[in-house]
Copies of this chain bind each other. A is one copy, B any other.
Amino acid sequence: MPTISDVASLAGLSRATVSRVINNHPYVTKEKKELVMDAMKQLGYFPNTSAQNLRKQKTDTIAVLVPRLTNPFFTHLVESLEDRAAEYGLQILICNTKYDKKRELEFLYLLKTKQVDGIIMTSIENNWGQIEEITMNGPIVLCNEYITGANVSSVRLNQLEGGYIGTHHLIQKGHTKIGYCWGGVLSGLSYDRFEGYRKALAGQGLSINENWLFEGVFSIDDGRRVLNEISEMYDRPTALFTGSDEVAAGIISEAKKKGLHVPGDIAVIGFDDQPIAEVIEPALTTIRQPISEIGKKTMEVMIELLSKKNQSDEHQIYELPLQLIARESS
Beta-carbon contact of A113 and B280 below 8 Å: no
Beta-carbon contact of B112 and A279 below 8 Å: no
* Residues 293-308 of chain A, each 1 if its beta carbon lies under 8 Å from chain B, else 0: 0000000000000000
**Chain B residues within 8 Å of A59, by CB:** 50
Q: Give the contacts of A242-258 with B (CB-CB under 8 A).
A: 246, 249-250, 252-253, 256
Give the shortest distance, in Å, between A144 (CB) and chain B (any CB): 17
CB-contact partner of A50 in B54, B76, B246, under 8 A = B54
Give the shortest distance, in Å, between A271 (CB) and chain B (any CB): 16
Q: Give the contacts of A152-211 with B (CB-CB under 8 A).
A: none
| Distance of A133 Cα from B112 Cα, bound (Å) | 34
CB-contact partner of A275 in B1, B93, B115, B219, under 8 A = B219
The answer to whether the Cβ of A99 comes within 8 Å of any Cβ in the partner chain is no
The answer to whether the Cβ of A230 comes within 8 Å of any Cβ in the partner chain is no
With contacts A75-B75, A79-B70 known, is A256 near B281, CB below 8 A?
yes
Give the shortest distance, in Å, between A300 (CB) and chain B (any CB): 20
Give this chain's copy count: 2
Q: Which residue of the partner chain B has the closest CB to A93? A: B93
Interface residues of A (CB under 8 A from B): 1, 44, 46-54, 59, 69-70, 72, 75-76, 78-79, 82, 92-94, 96, 109-110, 112-115, 133, 136-137, 219-221, 246, 249-250, 252-253, 256, 275-276, 278-281
- Show 6 residue pairs from A and B whose CB-CB distance is below 8 angstroms, ordered by the A residue: A49-B113, A69-B94, A70-B75, A70-B76, A280-B280, A281-B281
Main secondary structure of the interface of A (DSSP, over half): helix
Contacts A70-B79, A93-B94, A246-B275 given; 17 further ones with Cβ under 8 A?
A44-B136, A46-B109, A49-B114, A49-B115, A50-B54, A51-B54, A70-B72, A70-B75, A72-B72, A75-B75, A79-B96, A92-B96, A249-B276, A253-B278, A256-B281, A276-B279, A281-B281
Give the shortest distance, in Å, between A87 (CB) and chain B (any CB): 13
Q: Which residue of the partner chain B has the closest CB to A276? A: B276
5 closest pairs, A vs B, by CB?
A: A49-B113, A94-B94, A50-B53, A46-B112, A50-B54
Give the shortest distance, in Å, between A193 (CB) and chain B (any CB): 24
